Structure 1
């Protein structure tokens, strides 16, 4: 009988310990929030104002003093990661599918479509975040031969060259009175390096860039706090010191390398709304 009473007592003590342990768990570990990311495009200090095809209203000037305007600005953002100094990590879920409704983690930012410039991340663990990282372009996880749908579907307008060259990660098109046809097009893409075995000039390069930006404040995420990160892309910095006379058209990974190298400095966090 004493043995039975001892067992019952031990079980009761164990139940109390487990109950206390559950009660002491930090409730924040079960809480998640929402973070929005807004992209705005500028040329220097001026917000991008798209013109119609054929317009001779040149509202911008390159660093070389050449007048130009813009008719198209668009780029792919993917692999978004938020991190904090106390170990907080959020990685946006990625999925490529032939079904447009099943595409996750890939975003096609288009200046001509305001709704596309706002990304909403859900189920972000509560915590304090200080940095955002994302890919500019589509890397090997998103390049599936003949399988991608939605915003990755070439049949519905996704800017895709071919299997070896992949997607155009950044498109900047416009008009200038410098070129013979009064137009320019800078397409930056490419997802893998292919080095020829025969010693010929390399044509295919990986121009997907990973961009890491510090937030201007410590960003708090919780069930009741839904902050917004405001990111600005400076198209002037993407173009760099371009001379439209020498480089009016860029339509290959090799030609786009110099512009791909400009992408990290072209994006900045302007501010965070808490």
Structure 2
């Protein structure tokens, strides 16, 4: 009998979800507002409601979520201010006790990395480093399909990485780019976003052209540092702004060549994520299957 899994990708703005077969086929998918500002307990109740709404027996709940996750306990051990009262949320314990369904939990960027490695741009690669660029910057490193978690489950929290000028995420995120453009134009940040900046660049806007080049250079510097540390086979860039890879990828590559020694540059493939909004919940599904196998062997 075919098994059915509910996979969720809980982001700060939107929660994407899907019913998957045991082969990873997407049978149904949708999304809802996370309402993160209402806090962790509210998100938990929304997820419980979503589980109850499914008109079929479920064999597992697979959760991808913002925050630092103890993937063994299935618990949030650190969360930013975007989701109040989220730290300490014991997803695995809550779901399994209430629904008697196995549940596994992993960080959203790690899940995006698993999704791309199993189904997308990094399929078949031995060492993969994924960067997500948005409000902040997140990272994931996989070696032979295994996520590098670090001793405190906080490996690849690279948004906090220090580069000249400050934290990487405060200099090379999409929100940082928007702030710089708006400031130079003496306009409100709410009037700008990544898509508008790229459109203005195509129309010959000098400020947007200069700031995009600055953005690509800072990104390339961070990528170069990570390449020196991890020497991955492929480096994947994700996040909404990378939907315009035709504009951004060539510029990033030019600057990356400036920051890397030829040996490493020539052996590092740089590409963009291809799974878009499916990567998170597909990665959560892959993580679920892996953790369940490990628990049965223990």
TM class by smaller structure? under 0.3
Q: Which has the higher contact order (CA 8 A, sep 6+)?
A: 1
TM-score relative to the length of structure 1 = 0.24
Q: Which structure features the higher share of strand residues?
A: 1
TM-score relative to the length of structure 2 = 0.23
